[in-house]
Amino acid sequence: MKYCFSEENGKYSRNVLNVLIALRFPGIKSSWIRERYKNDMTTEKLSKEIEKFKEEEINKLNKKIEEINKLNKKIED
């Protein structure tokens, strides 16, 4: 890893980022990250962006669950 991580600017190479993203967050496409960050892929910014993305996805799923629960309640009534 020492050859893929630059300690001077705190950036990973693109290939290493793809692997790290795929291992840690299998649902997130690396192309989405590359498009968002282009050449500015510091690990701190990347982690924040991934967390933000995960929160957005969780919120979407929670809304869908609420809708399903409402429908189930209507069916039961």
User: Where in the sequence is the domain holding 68, given as residue range(s)?
Assistant: 5-76
Total count of domains within the chain: 1
- Name the amino acid, one letter, at 12: Y
Q: Give the confidence band of 76 by pLDDT, cuts at 50, 70, 90.
A: confident
pLDDT at 3: 42
CB 26 within 8 A of CB 10: no
Kindly report the pTM of this predicted structure.
0.43
**Could you tell me how many residues make up the chain?**
77
Q: What is the pLDDT of residues 16-75, one digit of tens each?
A: 666 666 666 666 666 666 565 555 556 677 677 778 888 888 888 899 999 988 988 888
pLDDT at 24: 65
Selection from 41, 64, 45 nearest residue 53 by Cα = 45
What are the structure tokens assigned to 22, written together? 């795929």
